[in-house]
Structure 1
Amino acid sequence: MPGEVSGTEGSSSRRDAAELRVSHRDRDRAVEVLRVAAGEGRLTADELDERVGAALAARTAADLAVLTADLPPEGMPQQARDVIRIDQRLGDAKRTGRWLVPRRMEIRLKFGELKLDFTEAVITHDTLHIDLDLRIGGNLTLVTRPGIVVDADDITYTRGDISIQPPADPDAPVLLRVLLAGRSTGGDIVARLPRRTPWQWLQRKPRTGEARDWRNPLGGAHP
């Protein structure tokens, strides 16, 4: 009948779509999906490296589809914003839970504190640039997890302290580099892992996002 598509024609149409050439944007989108999956523990470091390499070399839609076929569709990330600007004067602000990490942040703080909690954040690219202007009483706290590296070498400061906690697991694949630049004329910068809850202390459990030593699952010193 008119308007109907035969089975042969439908199969041909799907095959043609799968064989369409992909763009740089298509490849970048697939890489974002893979990075989110790795951040959630769905892919190992080796699998991530292998699939990212294949995504960047992909030529057709079918080449990309096979790389994410075993990942849940709800893991598909939204499009990250290029820049988020925060100008906080008096009072505190925070980003927690599954917030989408942008490519760049411009942060101005005075008599207030901003906490950026990355323990459940959705990370879709490998670098976050933060441009800082910390005035008196303006403090920045970064709560990290394994795979997040904070670099504050480009901060100039006349007052205030900078405290960057070493990574919990130096061998973890780097999911995100946070590059801090700008100035501090009276504020503090702290990068740390999540604090243990009282129950975690009693059970000797690792902090949220902290790597567990599987050779000694209860934590503490090795026998």
Structure 2
Amino acid sequence: MGFPVPAVPSDGERERVAELLQQACGEGRLTLEEFSVRVGEVWAAESDAELARVTASLAPTPLVGTSHTVEKVITVFSNTKRRGRWRLRSGRLGTYTVFGSTNIDLRDLATGADVIEITGSCVFGELKILVPEGVEVDVTGLRAFSNQETRLAPVPRLPGTPEIRVRVTTWFSNVEVLSKPAARKA
């Protein structure tokens, strides 16, 4: 007499749970970073019970701080930081920096978009974009007398995470795209 073997979730079940997580992210109940971590757990789940635990603690309603929608970040002779919980409904963000510094942290972003497009320009300035590990990032754009550095962790892309496309024209500027692991929450 042996112990019962737990049922292994099918790909269809995993995709259904990943879609639920993506919807929760779009509603502001999960940040992009939380979504990335949980969707990784979906594909690593070895039993139906493990799969069920991924969605068990979802907040029933959006958390405070997710109602402010950002579509443009404009920085002129100053410093702008966009971090914490915020919403990007359309999947598009315009960034315009002139003689300044713009820091955009996408780890606590709430969006249901499959593709996040960041476009704009940076003239005599700095643009720094922070993304969670496991997302695909494509950086393009005209660079003149500028530095561009992309430092992403060597981890596989997590299925279901959005692709991030950065298309910024730079003149005498510095553009950095970095990934950081999920912050440990108590």
2:88 match: secondary structure:
coil
1:193·1:210 contact (CA, 8 Å) conserved in 2? no
Aligned length: 148
Identity percentage over the alignment?
A: 16
- Structure 2 vs 1, CA of residues 97 and 79 (structure 1 numbering), >3 Å: closer, same or farther? closer
Partner of 1:131: 119
Partner of 2:178: 192
Q: Which is richer in helix?
A: 1
- Matched ranges for 1:1-223 at <5 A: 31-33=22-24, 37=30, 39=35, 41-43=37-39, 44-46=41-43, 71-75=58-62, 81=69, 84-102=71-89, 103-136=91-124, 138-153=125-140, 155-173=141-159, 175-194=161-180, 208-209=181-182
Distance in 1, Cα, partners of 2:38 & 2:71: 28
- Structure 2 vs 1, CA of residues 171 and 109 (structure 1 numbering), >3 Å: closer, same or farther? closer
Give the deviation of 1:186 after TM superposition.
1.4
Q: Can you give the 5+ residue segments of structure 2 that lack an aligned partner in the other structure?
A: 1-18, 45-54
Q: Which is richer in strand?
A: 2
Cα deviation, 1:73-117, whole Å, max 9, x if unaligned, reads 035796785x61222111110111112234111111011111111
Greater radius of gyration (CA) = 1
Give the deviation of 1:188 after TM superposition.
1.1
Which fold has the larger relative contact order, with Cα–Cα distance below 8 Å and residues 6 or more apart in sequence? Answer: 2
- Structure 2 vs 1, CA of residues 210 and 151 (structure 1 numbering), >3 Å: closer, same or farther? farther
Cα RMSD after superposing both structures: 3.4
Q: Can you give the 5+ residue segments of structure 1 that lack an aligned partner in the other structure?
A: 1-27, 48-67, 195-207, 212-223
